[in-house]
Structure 1
Amino acid sequence: MADGSDHVDIPESGDAAGGGRRRGRAGGGGGAARRAARTARKVEAVPAINRRIPTMEILSEEGLATIEYNAETVLEEIGVAFVDNPGALQRWREAGADVQGERVRIPRGLARKLCETAPSQFIHHARNPANSVTIGGDSLVLAPVYGPPFVRDLEKGRRYAVMEDFEKLVKLGQMSKWLHSTGGTVCEPTDIAVNKRHFDMLMAHMTLGDKPFMGSVTEPSRAADSVAMCEILFGEEFVRENSVMTSLINVNSPLTFDATMTGALEVYAAAGQACIISPFIVGGAMAPVSVAGTLTQVVAEVLAGVAYSQLIRPGAPVIFGAFVTSIDMGSGAPTFGTPEATKILWGAGQFARRYNLPFRSGGSLCGSKLPDQQAGMETANTLNAALMGGVNFMLHACGWLEGGLVSSLEKFVIDADQLGALHALAKGIDLSENGLALDAIREVGPGGHYLGCAHTQNNFQDAFWRSETFDNKPFETWSEEGARDTSQMAADRVKKMLGDYEAPPLDPAIAEALRDYVAQRKAAMPDAFS
């Protein structure tokens, strides 16, 4: 089987990349100009959300203190396991923990003390500086689906993902103006050897997009490859001093850190690259069925993981993560968008702020097999919960189907479009003179209408957020245009976005150096498919 190295087309010059290619002005008057504006190729990148609305504070100070006390009790009396990693056990022993076998019992207060050196926010740099984002504070950074082995689209249905699918999803991430990152493992390209596919995935992110991206965590050496490739892309000195990747470290809940995840964490923390410490919890299976019990475990696991990152390198950027779903007690399947998951998300956000750490949660989570009404309802519940819960980094913000087994191209663009609504909500209410609109009320007076008044004419283009995917036309127009449902309209939008895609410029010398590194590393190892 081919190693997949010929999948990515890298522009050989800035001119060929075409991202900033000039185009002639449309003529023919105002109507023609507006038509040209609607049909012209354009790639917009909207800055990260700056939240100007309050966050949900579901727990009282008494509730926070009780759960925190219980979490520290878990760390002190029950402990956490660091499996197959003698180095981690030795670090904990030297830090003052009680280490018996692979069980690490952390004295009350030690983990929280260690967490104090983690920064409250940091910049995730993109190769296009205009796309760099701040993670933490009042910001909300949106990144796409992560991890599915399958993809689905309207044309080919559900199937195992290949590198071509991966590249399409990266291009959609680059083209989606509300997304701030092209993500990480947007799907698993199964046509490339397991031990080599991370090279192709990183090449896609580095060359097909110029937004922030995530590194590989499936083996410590792959994390090291990610750092090495970033040193080529950004320069070694820049990478030493700045975060250019934000990577996902999942806790093997309950209370277990495996060698793969801790090994990747060690690589990234030592290199000063950001990591998300994220318990992966299905309530009732990997944590208690109660909200407070699950929050207790989440806090204990995150404190242990963040503290360990600071044992590697004090000051390493790290994010408090919480990925929590409930379980259907009838079928055993995970469920999404539930009230219980929302409560846990909101509570976890309070603890992240309590510890002065950036917070990761949320996404377009759903259990539906198709981008249908179930998918829409469950996704909307989670997206809004994440906005209100103070999330700073939202993974799975678009494209997630079937409990995370499937990346859907249509749902990717539907969700990415709806992320614009989060941007609008997060702005809060405009209380400026223009926002208060008293002059408009004076102009129109009793019994009039506002369609022609000066305030409406000055603000109509951006007064309301408008979906670019949904259909709000009259029935007759919708019917004449083919009576398309949302999935079909999304499929058409996928085709247009991919048709309009142009790779962002990349220095040819950097592109060549990346190709050489990948070729040499791949040649040094046989293919492995497990």
Structure 2
Amino acid sequence: MAEVKTRRRGGGGAARRAERTAVKIECAKYIERNIPNLDILDEAALQIIEANAETVLEEIGVAFVENPAALERWKAAGADVSGERVRIPRGLARKLCATAPGSFVQHARNPDRSVEIGGRNLVLAPVYGPPFVRDIAGGRRYATIEDFRNFVKLGYMSKWLHHSGGTVCEPTDIAVNKRHLDMLHAHMTLSDKPFMGSVTEPSRARDSVDMCEILFGGLDGRTVMTSLININSPLTFDATMMGALEVYAAANQACIISPFIVGGAMAPVSVAGTLTQVLAEVLAGVAYSQLVKPGAPVIMGAFVTSIDMNSGAPTFGTPEAAQITYGAGQLARRLGLPYRSAGSFNGSKLPDAQAAYETSNSLNTGLLSGVNFMLHACGWLEGGLVASFEKFVLDADQLGVLHRMAEGVKVDEEAQAMDALREVGPGGHYLGCEHTQRHFKDAFWRSDVLDYKPYETWEEEGARDSATLAQARVEKLLAEYRAPEMDPAVREALDAFVAERKAAEADSFM
């Protein structure tokens, strides 16, 4: 009997040690705001902007280039079509937008990772689109598929990210006409969070839908992708993006209809003028998605930056961009649409103080403006040309602050802490009181990257700056990465699909 008991004690201790040292891959639920949105436009201003947007659609119109089918849809809906110019009668676009849902669920292959986009929710996704990557060891360089896969792994390992994203960086070592297959395969196999589809050509959107059919065992009307459809501002809808939208809308997959605004270059320099153009473009884009399929899920987007009038370079984290982001949020809520905007925007070349200031401004604006889907939430550098590994983990860490801020302030009996106030009284301290003991583990948000050690300890450990600490964090996360479980038959089917599609056509780097 004694021998049995000894073995049980040893086994229990080993189990506890294993539990303490085991890699835990945590993922916080998408943010549910308990704080108010910041509305900066009054009713009169909103009505002026909405009326002006209708005037733009009716008098100036929008261009649907190289897309005869779109022109036919608009003509049948009652628009005035002249060449490629579509003039939309006042009220028609808004009426068509009414069938778009106010919120929707994007399903992940792990149901626990599914997200609801819309309402009071905020879903965070990583940087999208940079052709370059940067890290301390390798500097600035063209991105590869290995870089892409490592970003997907980091996104999967990052607690505060809810979404795997899309083109986290452009893997330039893979042919342009085939890289979407490798990117989708990485999202599907290296993570079990939701992801985005390809939009660079309609056939690639079709590939995205087909691969999701394999991954999910049939879609059955479920929305499993959210994809970015940029408008070629000002007021131009190109055939490539609209072709991808047509594929996704028909398959009930969500699209972000997002004007790409550089104030002073692609929109007026004034906040009100830019908001007018943004709203006109969104109304036309969302309405078109509903012409393809009424009820197709869609998100109102607003990617906004200003311009340095001396150099022509885009600028980020500016007050004007924030004002447009706040105002667009109000317009989205009046339309009853989910809203996409903001991110870890900055123009810095390095993850330095400029990057931190501009990123912080943009992230906080996104939280307070009511954004529902935040693309570029981590990793953005150099105006979106670079995806930075160190900045990815620094930003992903700081997204925890958004989670805590969105919780609001609790005032229940436990939060009032009257027992602590009575226990400590005048002149005491709260470190040892019972209330503190109950809550010290989760009372305050804690960074997993930043250094709060005493100066002497910091110096002994190498006097590391934030980028160096982030480099160590990247290495740690990648070393601890474990792929989520996956049905071997599904994996084999995905591998076969990718191989077959790649073999079907020659490589193209154009």
Give the shorter-chain TM-score range. Answer: over 0.9
**Alignment of structure 1 residues 468-479 onto 2, 5 Å:** 468-479=448-459
Structure 1 residue 250: Cα displacement: 0.2
Counterpart check, 1:457 vs 2:437: yes
**Alignment of structure 1 residues 251-400 onto 2, 5 Å:** 251-400=231-380
CA displacement 1:256-314 (0-9 Å, x = unmatched): 00000000000000000000000001000000000000000000000000000000000
CA–CA separation in structure 2 for the residues paired with 1:449 and 1:508: 57
Name which of 498, 501, 505 aligns with 2:481: 501
Distance of aligned partners of 1:406 and 1:95 in 2 relative to their CA distance in 1, 3 Å threshold: same
**Alignment of structure 1 residues 166-245 onto 2, 5 Å:** 166-236=148-218, 239-245=219-225
Amino acid at match of 2:31: I
TM superposition outliers: structure 1 runs of 4+ over 4 Å = 24-28
SS in 1 for 2:220: helix
CA–CA separation in structure 1 for the residues paired with 2:68 and 2:198: 22
Structure 1 residue 462: Cα displacement: 0.5
Structure 1 residue 428: Cα displacement: 0.2
CA–CA separation in structure 2 for the residues paired with 1:138 and 1:220: 32
SS in 2 for 1:193: coil
CA–CA separation in structure 2 for the residues paired with 1:474 and 1:41: 28
Amino acid at match of 1:293: G
SS in 2 for 1:104: strand
CA displacement 1:380-437 (0-9 Å, x = unmatched): 0000000000000000000000000000000000000000000000000011111111
CA–CA separation in structure 2 for the residues paired with 1:438 and 1:48: 32
CA displacement 1:200-227 (0-9 Å, x = unmatched): 0000000000000000000000000000
CA–CA separation in structure 2 for the residues paired with 1:384 and 1:368: 18
CA displacement 1:40-75 (0-9 Å, x = unmatched): 411001000000000011111111000000000000
Distance of aligned partners of 1:225 and 1:43 in 2 relative to their CA distance in 1, 3 Å threshold: same
CA displacement 1:18-57 (0-9 Å, x = unmatched): xxxxxx86669xxx96x974x5411001000000000011
CA displacement 1:230-260 (0-9 Å, x = unmatched): 0000022xx1311000000000000000000
Distance of aligned partners of 1:240 and 1:27 in 2 relative to their CA distance in 1, 3 Å threshold: closer
SS in 2 for 1:165: helix
CA–CA separation in structure 2 for the residues paired with 1:393 and 1:481: 39
Counterpart check, 1:154 vs 2:140: no
Counterpart check, 1:68 vs 2:50: yes
Counterpart check, 1:87 vs 2:76: no
Structure 1 residue 373: Cα displacement: 0.2
Amino acid at match of 1:315: G
Amino acid at match of 2:391: K
Aligned residue number for residue 12 of structure 1: none
Using structure 2 for the length normalisation, give the TM-score. Answer: 0.97
CA displacement 1:450-496 (0-9 Å, x = unmatched): 00000100000000001111000000000111111000000000000
Counterpart check, 1:522 vs 2:495: no
Aligned residue number for residue 81 of structure 2: 99
CA–CA separation in structure 2 for the residues paired with 1:492 and 1:380: 22
CA–CA separation in structure 2 for the residues paired with 1:40 and 1:377: 35
CA–CA separation in structure 2 for the residues paired with 1:177 and 1:351: 31
CA contact (8 A) 1:240 1:272 kept: no
CA–CA separation in structure 2 for the residues paired with 1:249 and 1:399: 21
CA–CA separation in structure 1 for the residues paired with 2:437 and 2:333: 42
Counterpart check, 1:119 vs 2:97: no
CA–CA separation in structure 2 for the residues paired with 1:235 and 1:431: 46
Distance of aligned partners of 1:26 and 1:146 in 2 relative to their CA distance in 1, 3 Å threshold: farther
Structure 1 residue 93: Cα displacement: 0.3
Aligned residue number for residue 8 of structure 1: none
SS in 1 for 2:411: coil
Aligned residue number for residue 13 of structure 1: none
Using structure 1 for the length normalisation, give the TM-score. Answer: 0.93
CA–CA separation in structure 2 for the residues paired with 1:322 and 1:233: 31
**Alignment of structure 1 residues 40-51 onto 2, 5 Å:** 40-51=22-33
Aligned residue number for residue 16 of structure 1: none
Amino acid at match of 1:319: I
CA–CA separation in structure 2 for the residues paired with 1:393 and 1:363: 10
Aligned residue number for residue 140 of structure 1: 122
Distance of aligned partners of 1:329 and 1:25 in 2 relative to their CA distance in 1, 3 Å threshold: farther
SS in 2 for 1:322: strand
CA–CA separation in structure 1 for the residues paired with 2:415 and 2:63: 55
CA–CA separation in structure 1 for the residues paired with 2:182 and 2:440: 45
SS in 1 for 2:387: strand
Aligned residue number for residue 39 of structure 2: 57
CA displacement 1:115-140 (0-9 Å, x = unmatched): 00000000000000000000000100
Aligned residue number for residue 431 of structure 1: 411
CA contact (8 A) 1:143 1:181 kept: yes
CA contact (8 A) 1:240 1:271 kept: no
Structure 1 residue 78: Cα displacement: 0.2
CA–CA separation in structure 2 for the residues paired with 1:419 and 1:245: 22
Amino acid at match of 1:344: I
Give the total of aligned pairs. 500
Structure 1 residue 520: Cα displacement: 1.0
CA–CA separation in structure 2 for the residues paired with 1:274 and 1:299: 19
Amino acid at match of 1:437: A
Alignment RMSD: 1.2
CA–CA separation in structure 2 for the residues paired with 1:145 and 1:281: 17
Q: What percent identity do the matched residue pairs reach?
A: 72
Unaligned runs of 5+ residues in structure 2 are 1-10
SS in 2 for 1:91: helix
Aligned residue number for residue 428 of structure 2: 448
CA–CA separation in structure 1 for the residues paired with 2:509 and 2:12: 52
CA–CA separation in structure 2 for the residues paired with 1:366 and 1:186: 16
SS in 2 for 1:249: strand
Name which of 357, 367, 388 aligns with 1:408: 388
CA contact (8 A) 1:209 1:504 kept: yes
CA–CA separation in structure 1 for the residues paired with 2:169 and 2:229: 17
Structure 1 residue 438: Cα displacement: 1.0
SS in 2 for 1:167: helix
